Amino acid sequence: MSVNIEKMRFDMAEQQRQSAIQQSWETRKFIVAAIVAVAASVGAGVGIGNLIWGHRQPQPIVIQLPPQPKS
């Protein structure tokens, strides 16, 4: 009977250790996803801001014609 209890304790400890490892991995994935989302939001905001406020009046195109030949 004591062998089964020791095995059960070992299995429970191993399961808790695996659960802690899995939880830390999930936390890292969440943090990375949050950082990527913030970076994408900032990039989109900069792009939209540049689109709205970045337009300047277009400069006219000046074409200089060669002088007329004197006849």
Quote the CA–CA distance of 57 and 54 in Å, as a whole number.
10
What is the structure's pLDDT at 25? 83
Provide CB contacts within 8 A for 38, sequence distance 6+: none
Structure tokens at 16: 């808790």
From first to last of its 71 residues, the chain has per-residue pLDDT tens of 667 888 888 888 888 888 888 888 888 999 999 999 999 999 999 999 888 887 777 788 888 888 888 87
- The DSSP H or E segment spanning 28 is helix 2-53
The count of C-alpha atoms lying within 13 angstroms of the C-alpha of 48, restricted to the half-sphere facing its C-beta, is 6
What is the structure's pLDDT at 54? 76
What is the structure's pLDDT at 23? 82
